[in-house]
Amino acid sequence: MKETEARSRIAQLSAELHGHNHHYYVLSQPTISDREFDALLEELQRLEAEFPQLLSPDSPSQRVGGTVTKDFPTVVHRYPMLSLGNSYSLDEMREFDARIQRALGRSVEYVCELKYDGVAIGIRYADGSLTQAVTRGDGTQGDEVTANIRTIGSLPLRLRGEGFPSDFEVRGEVLLPRKEFDRINAEREEIGEQLYANPRNTASGTLKLQDSAAVASRNLDCYLYAVMLEGELTGTHLGDLTKLREWGFKISEASQLCRSLDDVFNFITHWDKERAKLPFDTDGVVIKVNSLADQKALGFTAKSPRWAIAYKFTTEQAVTRLNSITYQVGRTGAITPVANLDPVKLGGTTVKRASLHNADQIERLGLCIGDMVQVEKGGEIIPKIVGVERTQGLFALDPVQYIAHCPECGTELVRKEGEAQHYCPNELGCPPQIKGRIEHFIGRKAMNIDGLGPETIEQLYNAGLVNSMADLYTLTKEQVLPLERMAEKSADNLLAGLEASRKVPFPRVLFGLGIRYVGETVAKKLARQFKDIDALMAATSEELEDVEEIGGRIAQSVVAYFADQRNRDTIERLRNAGLQFQMEERTSIGSEVLGGKAFVVSGKFAHYTRDGIKEAVEQHGGRIVSSISAKTDYVLAGTDMGPEKRKKAEKLGVSIISEEDFRGMVGIN
């Protein structure tokens, strides 16, 4: 294909993909299937790799992440990001309205919006393209997180329509939907990581992750609520929001024009009840004067605008009795205490149980069985105990003593230094751990075995048919047919699912093994680096830490897992059953000219994305490592290479090569 043809096709694909993204993320009206979308995106990526000079910063391919940002530069806001004054009662709202009327000499229209419990962001657009994103920080200056913001599917990289200013800024809130928060915590629980506290803090931490591919995997969302520019767009706040929606921004459908204070009160009352049904957290309502001329006349205090205020919802609490504490054992052996309560209404649901997290929280609360406890929904999602209301007659109750032995197998619990949770170390003999590992192994992101689920695993375990994931591949139809609710067709489906799983690629098999701290992303990185299970089992901690994003804790966990002969025996049985324990050979357009040389990539490049140049290194026989050491052969340096990396490379005598040097090495003119 000629460059002119490629340019035309890239433009066509980009326009189509931007449109499909808008329909999927903003309008919630997908127009094509995921498979069709992926096919278009893959075609675009192939063309951009073949014609890197045609790669645009606002290409749909740039959403998927891959940029690694070590530093987040501090940027001064062009327009200060002020905080809002808060109100907690309708009387305070009446006082706010009275101040507005005194200042202007008349009543006004307001716009009511949901107050998102997320991370405030300012995003700059120049000539219709997203160019910069900065967090609120202290209101005067914040951190630039542009690469990470680009991964948010609901944000346009290039604006739709026409008539937008050549240079302006939009303000909004970055959110982590509850569904994604629950998914992330479920994955962290699977690999034995401490759970995140709430969606807001998780969203904030996500925006500061160094690897934008990891940010993309979190599926953040973003609602916009203001435009900042020299001059005006429409003269009203609601008119500006309408314009932003026309240009492709996601604007809440809940925003409403209110012509009286009664309308404002009705809006507050409605959403105080309905907010639990929203897919994200909201902690109040923002009330703004609609007229921009009135906003200008009212002005600002030193900290906040006089023309806007936030009404904060009261966090709903309930008081009920603590009847008992039970202890759950997870797949990794982590012990989670759960409070069993007298049923109580909270946030529109009946709460019977609440999380207690760990021994430290139980001790901090000073809990006793029989206590009257204060319960609230943390982050509007998970019920938690926040306090104790103990009457004088109950002071003689004995404080809860955290269990010393596993409630399932009786093994003495351990608690490693620096960790919050206790663990049962009986990995291969504790029933919940055995069944949990098998359930993880058959899961959708691992082996994805049709016909198998937790109930069937429970039956197979209780019948003595499976005690490890390898036992699954010895099952016969005669063995599974007697199981409850197992008909002829169900048995055939189960065995067919096991047969199909033999073709699951190595990264997913590795993830399915359930090595602590080895999640889906880490499994992919390890598989890509070591190519097969034998090389991975032989790897030292130092070699593992050479892999991008693999730290000491993960490396030690992997080494410890493979040091256990029982785990090696299981892997050998799985290998003999026909599972894939090596990467598939890929047809390469490159060569082996780099002969296994170790490369560290740093900076930005003219002809490649960061992921693109790493792939080019691997296509020509090189390998990527994350940090510079005496074993590093080359540092491939683009613009903006970190000075500390350069200094370390020079100190160790590691060759620093440019992008052009690299292209010459692999024979690209």
Contact yes or no for 451/483 (Cβ under 8 A):
no
Structure tokens at 653: 């005598």
For 518-528, what is each residue's pLDDT tens digit?
Answer: 988 789 889 98
H or E element: which one contains 150? Answer: none
Spatial separation of the C-alpha atoms in residues 245 and 170, rounded to whole Å: 12
- Compute φ and ψ for 535, nearest 5 degrees: -65, -40
- b/e map 320-330, b = 16+ CB within 10 Å: bebeebebebb
**Annotated active-site residue in 2, 115, 208, 345:** 115
- Taking Cα atoms as reference points, which of 223, 221, 148, 217 lies closest to residue 183? 217
- Work out the burial of residue 452: count CB atoms within 10 Å of its CB; fewer than 13 is exposed, 13-18 middle, 19 or more buried: buried
- Where do the DSSP E strands lie in 274-395? 282-289, 308-312, 317-329, 335-346, 349-355, 372-378, 382-389
First to last CA, the chain: 18
Closest CA to 291 of 78, 102, 98, 106: 106
Q: Which CATH number fits domain 506-576: 3.40.50.1820, 3.20.20.70, 1.10.150.20, 3.30.450.20?
A: 1.10.150.20
pLDDT of residue 321: 93
Output the pLDDT for position 115: 93
- Other beta carbons less than 10 A from residue 509's beta carbon: 24
Note whether 431-501 and 506-576 share their fold: yes
Give CATH superfamily name and number for 431-501.
5' to 3' exonuclease, C-terminal subdomain (1.10.150.20)
Q: Given a cut of 90, is residue 634 above it in pLDDT?
A: yes
Average pLDDT, the chain: 88
* Amino acid, res. 500: A
How would residue 59 be classed by pLDDT, with cut points 50, 70 and 90?
confident
Residue, of 615 and 180, whose pLDDT is higher: 180
Q: What is the DSSP-derived secondary structure letter of residue 447?
A: T
Q: Does 105 score more than 90 pLDDT?
A: yes
**Angle formed at CA 260 by CA 258 and CA 263, multiple of 5 degrees:** 55
pTM of the shown model: 0.60
Class at the top of the CATH hierarchy for domain 3-64: mainly alpha
> What is the rounded radius of gyration, in angstroms, for the C-alpha atoms of the chain?
28
The residue behind tokens 């009786």 is: 410
**Is residue 393's pLDDT more than 50?**
no
Helix 3-21 crosses helix 34-50 at what angle (to 10 degrees)?
150
Distance CA 440, CA 510 (A): 12
Whole-number Å distance between alpha carbons of 97 and 31: 45
**Residue 296: pLDDT above 60?**
yes
Q: How far apart are CA 351 and CA 122, in angstroms?
A: 39
| Parallel/antiparallel/unpaired status of strands 221-228 and 308-312 | unpaired
Structure tokens given for 329: 């054992």
Query: Strand 141-143 relative to strand 110-116: parallel, antiparallel, unpaired?
Result: unpaired
* CATH code that applies to domain 598-665: 3.40.50.10190
Confidence of residue 130 (pLDDT cuts 50, 70, 90): very high
Average pLDDT over residues 107-121: 94
Q: With H, G, I as helix, E, B as strand and everything else as coil, classify residue 13.
A: helix
Residue 62 pLDDT more than 80?
no
Top pLDDT among 397 and 330 is at: 330
Domain range summary for the chain, segments of one domain joined by +: 3-64, 75-312, 317-394, 431-501, 506-576, 598-665
pLDDT of residue 380: 45
Task: Check if 115 is active-site.
Answer: yes
593 close to 666: Cβ distance less than 8 angstroms: yes
Q: Which CATH class is domain 75-312?
A: alpha beta
**Topology classification of domain 317-394:** OB fold (Dihydrolipoamide Acetyltransferase, E2P) (2.40.50)
- C-alpha closest to that of 64 among 615, 544, 640, 618: 615
Q: What values do phi and psi take at 621, rounded to 5?
A: 90, 0
**How far is residue 251 CA from its own chain's centroid?**
22
CA 441-443-444 angle, 5° bins: 135
Query: What per-residue string of b and e applies to 39-55 under the rule 16 or more CB within 10 Å gives b?
Result: ebbeebbebbbebbeeb
* 3-class DSSP assignment, residue 328: strand
Tell me the C-alpha distance between 79 and 418, whole Å.
Answer: 43
Distance of CA 587 to the CA centre of its chain: 32
- The residue with tokens 């929280």 is 361
Tokens coding 647: 């200094």
**pLDDT tens per residue, range 75-102:** 999 999 988 888 988 999 999 999 999 9
What residues pair up with 389 in beta bridges, in sequence order? 372
Q: What is the pLDDT of residue 497?
A: 93
Distance CA 625, CA 108 (A): 61
